[in-house]
Structure 1
């Protein structure tokens, strides 16, 4: 049985439109990395089936194929925003081709264009659901693994990490089953974490960080409310964006808490036994999380690298025990002079890294200059000997550039510290 002329024409227009769109995609360096020819042909076949089903009013088949398309695009690591843009381009191209070629074929052009719009609204929504389902499958496993890691810990803050993960896990179950009625507490003032926020001293963080924690916590609950509204409306595009936002906020929230756990830890593995400051083992984890917090809040951070001048001569002239005492004294001055929110790491033998959140580079320079003078003026008594030492310091601030990492800032601070050494020592270079 031959196909109706209308269907033949629509197929022809779809094929031409799809090929036109794909030629543009394959020329785009941003998008071409996601596709090869075999994948495009597969997507074309499913996309065409969904489109033709919609034109024939088989909306269930549009939903089914859209869901499959969403899962495939997700598996190819294609951002949903890029997929959404391509769908909108495809609809535009099809409408344009139809206006050009269909007007002479006896089409009711206005009705057909309305149907195409309706099909693509449904297709975009179904593809969003395919993406969402794929996200949920992965996040379920990730959360289960995180829960396993905190299960046996007695650290106070880890209780709240666990509570939030359980809360998040229940929301995922609700989304998977499209429950309109929440299985979790949505009222921001009645959840368990709000009790912790009633007492700032429990968190033991600066007022600025406390305000950030509270703000993120409020946003998490507002986003959760939006999620259940989107479920009720079956608006999967909004639901997907709401869910991504929830996961982003949760990551920020958990980063704040887990950083605090790491900083409060007094395990030997994390504390340098000679100086009592943090050693390099937890440094990467803590600094990466702290830097993310600065990006979230759009607040400045600065890093200083401090090195004791001529330390080898001290060891050679007085011995290693005196050298150790010098390191301890310098560390003690650092701990007494800096804020509680500043993080101090023993970076190397006689070298310290200082992380200063919410601090502009020019302000960090002033702090380090005062510190340098304090160390220079300090008498270090070692038996019968009284020693004075100096330090060279490099200071660098974060640019908050999207591609910048903490290691980039440390490298720049290290170069400035070396410049201080090479240009006379006992100075701060910014």
Structure 2
């Protein structure tokens, strides 16, 4: 199942999405207010965004949803987004049925009451789903490192706990984590300054993300340490992937300062396999120990615990 963290949205993109959700919901509230006014007061015709077979694509919220999904297919694949779209369409269908009954002569008060209750129930469920999505985005912002745009430690713990539960349920499922530490990072800070060090952190995380699979996640663990989560991955394949990543990173030049030559960065990797037993902290410690073994063996290498 796709999760929001897989989309790798920047904090700015997430905040922009929260604002656009608010605007879209205000538009939908105005759409509902007009419906209620016509039902109570009459005297005004409702447009195709109420009565057409595809009315859910014509209202302000529907147009926003369509643009959102077209601009980001991965977002469109999120189960919560699909549920919001489904319930939005069903609410429009309930409104259309209510309007048909409202226009019937003689008016059947019992049928009107049932249809009205159905519209209200779907509206409440629809709003609840949109609010849940808004809260997910907010949580994502709170758990994203503003410098590197990687997820933070709290989110790491939550993701690994969820994965360990999945491993317990699913026979044969393999997943791994890799602790990554940038070699000689303190020397970079001391030689070129902390702004240059920040640039190295940004560029290294960008490079790592660009050379992983879409389902892999990168977390900032602390300082110059990062954790890579490799779901549904065998130890053999993880070794190949991380060794290739290590080699490519060692050949990647980073311009950390306008006043210095480009830097070549290396990193040490400690890898361990997740099991359905133990705690998340146990596996993080094992990966950390493997990473320190890589350091002790000369740095710029991958060690499996």
Q: TM-score, normalised by structure 2?
A: 0.54
SS in 1 for 2:142: coil
Distance of aligned partners of 1:266 and 1:335 in 2 relative to their CA distance in 1, 3 Å threshold: farther
Aligned counterparts of 2:138 and 2:263: Cα–Cα separation in 1: 33
1:360-415 CA-to-partner distances (Å, cap 9, x unmatched) read 12211111111111111011012132111100000111233xx3222222111111
**Does the 8 A contact of 2:164 with 2:275 survive in 1?**
no
Equivalent residue, structure 1, for 2:154: 281
The reply on whether 1:325 has 2:190 as its aligned counterpart is no
Number of aligned positions between the proteins: 178
**1:398 and 2:271 are equivalent in the alignment:** no
Aligned twin of 2:250: 376
Asked if 1:292 corresponds to 2:171, the answer is no
The CA deviation string for residues 260-296 of structure 1, in whole angstroms up to 9 with x for no partner, is: 9998666431110000110113221222012212222
Partner-residue secondary structure (3-state), 2:228: strand
Unaligned runs of 5+ in 2: 1-19, 22-72, 80-132
Is the 1:287–1:406 Cα contact (8 Å) retained in structure 2? Answer: yes
Change (3 A) 1:203 1:370: same
2: CA distance, partners of 1:263 / 1:304: 26
Structure (1 or 2) with the larger CA radius of gyration: 1
Q: Deviations over 1:43-78 (max 9, x none)?
A: xxxxxxxxxxxxxxxxxxxxxxxxxxxxxxxxxxxx
Please show how residues 59-208 of structure 1 align to structure 2 within 5 Å. 202-204=76-78
Structure 1 equivalent of residue 221 of structure 2: 347
Secondary structure of the corresponding residue to residue 247 of structure 2: helix
* Cα distance in 2 between the residues matched to 1:262 and 1:345: 20
Gaps of 5+ in 1: 1-153, 156-198, 206-259
Q: Deviations over 1:313-366 (max 9, x none)?
A: 000000000000000011001111111211210001101001111011221111
Give the Cα–Cα distance (whole angstroms) in 2 for the partners of residues 296 and 263 of structure 1.
25
What do you get for the CA RMSD once the two structures are aligned? 2.6
Distance 1:364 1:319 in 2: 34
Larger helix fraction of residues: 1
**Compared with structure 1, are the counterparts of its residues 404 and 338 closer, same or farther at alpha carbon in structure 2 (3 Å cutoff)?**
same
Are the counterparts in 2 of residues 263 and 286 from structure 1 also a CA contact under 8 Å? Answer: no
Mark the CA change 1:301 to 1:263 in structure 2 (over 3 Å): closer, same or farther: farther
Q: TM-score, normalised by structure 1?
A: 0.39
Task: Identify which range, 358-367 or 411-420, moves more after superposition.
Answer: 358-367
